[in-house]
Amino acid sequence: MCDKKRHRKRAKYITLSLESKKGSSQTPMMRSISTVSVLLTMCARVTLVWSAYPFTFTDRECRDLFPERIGKDSLSVNEAHDLPFEIEPSETIHGVSLGGVQVTIKAVSKWRIKGLLMQARAVGKCEDPAQQHPLGHFETPEYSALMASNCSGHKFETVTHKKYPLNEAYVNVRWFPPEDIKDKIYFVATIVSGKDEFWTGIVSHVVRHHKDKEMATGDFHCPMRSIYNPSTSSKLGSAGPRHRSNHQLLIFLLVTSIIHVFWLIDRK
């Protein structure tokens, strides 16, 4: 009798052990895949911030387009300087063409475009908080030097550079308005022209909705921040090279971790 009980217990133990092994046979692989997915996501996010240097995509920067990381005033603050860049939309109206509006950002002097951050905004009262929100979305081809990014929580409403620095006389991007918008809009950008040199408040002409018959007059665009104020700015203001080096190190560690995970998978 005792022998039969022992045999039953032993058989039950063996069965449970086999089921446990069977149920967990793919667990290491699933865990590895999950880990790789997380690491790749982190790597993509870090690469975005690193490649878009000197922009950091903070909430404040998404509103005023001011690269605090540089830690200096904009060259636009000197009224003796003519703005060396222009933004030229291909259309004067929006809401008609399914192809959107092509926007050309170009240098009109010795300067070159090293980096940029650009959005479309509505014409209106500047004290309205809505004036600080981007409108529509941008699209860029794979070969473009630019990329559409999410800066203010809306999909692809900001355009920036893929790598830093660029060295372009002009760049193109295509903008599409939201379906429900009938506002007059304009494009506004901050453009980096050299090491620790940038220009804020670069604006285009107005692009109105095709049903809007009134032309914009006067100062249609809202003034953009041009002064660096260290008392209210982020501590990252003057930490550009160090911050970029930290991103390089983090990317290296993430890639190393991914390689290690695949090595463990191969061993199993």
Asked if residue 197 is part of any domain, the answer here is: yes
Q: How large is the greatest C-alpha to C-alpha distance in the chain, in angstroms?
A: 105
- Residue 157 near residue 119 (C-beta atoms within 8 A): yes
Whether the per-residue pLDDT at 133 is higher than 60: the answer is yes
| Structure confidence by residue, pLDDT tens digits, 30-46 | 555 555 454 544 444 44
Compute the average pLDDT of residues 158-187: 94
User: What residues make up the domain containing 120?
Assistant: 50-242
Average pLDDT taken over every residue of the chain: 78
Q: Is the pLDDT of residue 244 over 60?
A: no
Residue 172's contacts (CB-CB under 8 Å, 6 or more residues apart) are 102, 103, 104, 105, 144
Q: Cβ neighbours of residue 144 under 8 Å, at least 6 residues apart?
A: 162, 171, 172, 173
pLDDT at 268: 60
CA distances from 33 to 1, 25, 66, 254 (A): 50, 14, 39, 14
Distance CA 146, CA 128 (A): 30
In a domain, 163, yes or no: yes
Q: Is residue 26 part of a domain?
A: no
Dist CA 23 CA 8 (whole Å): 22
- 31 falls within a domain: no
- Is 17 domain-assigned? no
Least-confidence region, from 160-164, 213-217, 232-236: 232-236
Query: Which one, of 215, 179, 204, lies nearest residue 96 by Cα?
Result: 179
Residue 28 lies in a domain: no
Average pLDDT over residues 51-78: 91
Domain count, the chain: 1
Here the CATH number for the domain that contains residue 98 is: 2.60.40.4060
At 28 the pLDDT is 55
The residue with greater pLDDT, 243 or 114, is 114
Does 134 map to a domain? yes
* pLDDT value of position 159: 97
On whether residue 11 sits in a domain, the answer given is no
